[in-house]
Structure 1
Amino acid sequence: MRLRPIPLLLALCVVAVSAASLVGVRNAARAANGAVASKAGSGPRYGLSTVGLSYPFAAAIAKGFSDAAASAGARAVVLDAKGDVQKQANDIDDLIAQKVAGVAVMPIDSVVAQGWVRRANAQHVPIAAVAALVGDPRTRAIDDVYPGLVALASQDEVAAGRAAGTLAATWLPRDRVARIAIIEGAAGFPEVEQRARGFRLALDAAGLRYRIVASQPGNWTSEGGEAACQNILAARPDIDLFYNEADDMVIGCARAVRAAGSSARLLGVGGSKLAIASIKAGAVDGTVCFKPEALGALAFEALHAKAEGASRFRTYPIPAVTRATVGECVGQW
């Protein structure tokens, strides 16, 4: 994993304005509705539908996408779904209707996104997914790219969970059953299930005796992570480890752990700048290093080349890092 739906707005009546004024009004309206167009490049236009630009991770993907478009002499149109599935559906329909050269989408709901792929295909508009798969995440492997997509540019979320679980297994007690709490993202996002599944697979492979004694959503935010960890610690002060499915949540969870005087280990996912700084300071124990700008660039490059001669699944290495190895992770968000 977030945001609240924001209605479509602005019915504008503009009479007797200059062409320059009209462009300014249109740009203001698009910005108010969550649209950001890159200024660089005069070539073909490529669209990116994000889950929400208020999320630093999504904003970093948009930056990578826009930078790659500019480098190719193209223009990027970034639409902000603001966490609203219906708005994202409308945004994608708008991009398809505009006959952009290609559409990349960070799907809020991977199952609903199947219909968006079919609509793009029907209009012969290339479409790629970025950061999350299209299709049922419980039954579809990450590298089994949904039919009709030019490509999926994503970290392997199950592998990310596995990297987190492998690291956690080195910290947890072996002489008793370890007590673990999971702070999830938000309902509907495929990475919630995938990161948890990989985490458990790694713990099982390590032969660790453990129990997931609590699991609560943190809704991808620092405040949500703090509240969830506070609630869990009030009922279970004996937690050995909090596995937070995103770095924003682990930062909030760290505040709750310190306030409660808990000795629980803290593990995140994402490689955010703040999490890396917190690991260096000893406030967080580890994270899994993501590179969202690279994802945005990979999605654009796949659309631009229509993935000719390349795998439709595009990814990069995602190591888990601790204070001893955090220098290997350069935060991009």
Structure 2
Amino acid sequence: MRLRAIPVALWALVVLVAIASLVMLRHSASAGTAASAVASGGPRYGLSSVGLSYPFAAAIAKGFSDTAARAGATAVILDAKGDVQKQANDIDDLVAQKVKGIAIMPLDSVVAQGWVDRIGRAGVPVAAVAALIGDPKKRRIDDVYPGLVALVSQDEVAAGEAAGTLAVRLLPRDRKARIAIIEGAAGFPEVEQRARGFRQGLAKAGIKYEIVASQPGDWTAEGGEAACQNILAAQPDIDMFFNEADDMVIGCARAVRAAGSHARLIGVGGSKLAVASIKAGAVDGTVCFKPEALGALAFEALHQKTAGPRFRTYPIPAVTRATVGECVGQW
């Protein structure tokens, strides 16, 4: 089913599902944060989030706080609101509060090296969640930065490769395929890692392709829509948009539909809205992430009494309309 053939009523249902899901997740994360400010009687563990306005980050916070509560602990969740300097101050605050452990979802993986070193000197266990610490161009995902008790994340290169392998099934094989990449915000290691993995997936299949355009979508639906509009205006014959996150693929789908384009659409993340859009035929596929599981694994890495693996992850299948039942959205 092509995007322009989707009934208006079905699109409205997809939007309603998305709004309800985002409200529930953000309410849950906010409730967990408020509770952490007043709870007492258990050990306190901190999570420095990039920003709870991001649904993915909010789901990580929910997984962290829910798991802490089940362990009889208190989760102290601080929201950096996308500001690197605020995140640095938040981490100093957590150290001053003498929490038992700190999980960092870093806004800048290179700057975060100094944070980890500083926390280590204070004698507080520290874990990274959802992104590596260090230069992503020089450090493999499983090469965990010294001083971390654990890095809890998807293998972002593997996620990109899964998307590339999925793309091969959707692209033309009788000619060179024209692909555009909608990137996340600058500074996030996932931007380069997912793009690198995507190219690896295409290369392994031996498909002929050209990346004819790439623009940042800044992780948002609005950014994804604007980027795809710009690219379609200049190059209306695009065969596929690879969006590095599901929020962006939803916005890109609006742009593709408005332009009457037949471009295929792939995202990354397994969001509830993306799953609904795949079922509706508005998006072709995504790679299924579980952010609540990341939050849970990060807390467990800090709370556990014995050492475990320093790199912790979980399966990340790529899904299409035929297999989307394998992906239960957590954000």
TM-score normalized by the length of structure 2:
0.89
Q: Looking at both structures, which has the greater relative contact order when contacts are Cα pairs under 8 Å and sequence separation is at least 6?
A: 2
Number of aligned positions between the proteins: 300
Q: Which amino acid aligns with 1:199?
A: F
Q: Give SS of 1:171's match.
A: coil
Q: What letter is aligned with 1:274?
A: L
Find the counterpart in structure 2 of residue 312 from structure 1.
Answer: 310
Please report how far the alpha carbon of residue 36 of structure 1 lies from its aligned counterpart in structure 2 after TM superposition: 4.2
* Corresponding residue of 1:219: 218
* Counterpart for residue 327 of structure 2: 329
CA distance in 2, matches of 1:37, 1:96: 20
Distance (whole Å) between structure 2 residues aligned to residue 190 and residue 276 of structure 1:
25
Work out the CA distance in 1 between the residues paired with 2:323 and 2:110.
37
Structure 2: how far apart are the matches of 1:272 and 1:281? 14
Q: Which structure is higher in helix share?
A: 2
2:114 maps to: 115
The one-letter amino acid paired with 2:302 is L
The Cα of 1:176 is off from its aligned counterpart by 1.0
The yes-or-no answer on 1:106 pairing with 2:105 is: yes
Q: How does 1:21-40 map to 2 (within 5 A)?
A: 36-38=34-36
Is 2:192 the counterpart of 1:231?
A: no
Conserved 8 A contact 1:103-1:303: yes
- Which has the higher Rg, Structure 1 or Structure 2? 1
- Normalized against structure 1, the TM-score is what? 0.88
Say if 2:177 is the partner of 1:178: yes
Spell out, residue by residue over 1:274-323, the C-alpha distance to the aligned partner (whole angstroms, 9 max, x if none).
Answer: 000000000000000000000000000000016x3411101000000000
Matches within 5 A, 1:96-175: 96-175=95-174
Moved over 3 A (4+): none
C-alpha distance in structure 2 between counterparts of 1:147 and 1:37, whole Å: 32
> Aligned partner of 2:301: which letter?
A
How much does 1:42 deviate? 2.3
In structure 1, the residue matched to 2:76 is: 77
Q: Is 1:65 paired with 2:64?
A: yes
SS in 2 for 1:242: strand
Distance 1:176 1:41, change over 3 A: farther
Instruction: Give the 5 Å matches for 1:285-296.
Output: 285-296=284-295
* Counterpart Cα distance in 1 of 2:225 and 2:54: 17
Q: Give the Cα separation in 1 of the matches to 2:217 and 2:93.
A: 32
Q: Could you tell me whether the CA contact under 8 Å between 1:158 and 1:195 is conserved in 2?
A: yes
CA shift at 1:40, angstroms?
5.8
What is the 5 A alignment of 1:294-305?
Answer: 294-305=293-304
8 Å CA contact retained: 1:41, 1:73: no
Q: Deviations over 1:253-288 (max 9, x none)?
A: 000000000000000000000000000000000000
> Which residue of 2 is the match for residue 208 of structure 1?
207
Gaps of at least 5 residues in structure 1 are 1-30
Q: 1:144 to 1:36 in 2, by over 3 A?
A: farther
- On the 8 A contact 1:41/1:70 being kept in 2, the answer is no
1:189-229 CA-partner distances (Å, limit 9, x unpaired): 00000000000011011101111000000000000000000
User: What's the % identity of the aligned pairs?
Assistant: 82
Code of the residue aligned with 2:245 in structure 1: it is A
Shift of 1:99: 1.1
* Aligned counterpart, 1:265: 264
153-162 or 169-178, which deviates more: 169-178
Does the CA contact (< 8 Å) of 1:185 and 1:192 recur in 2? yes
Secondary structure of the 2:169 match is helix
* Unmatched segments (≥5 aa) in structure 2: 1-29
Kindly provide the amino acid, as one letter, of the partner of residue 126 in structure 1: P
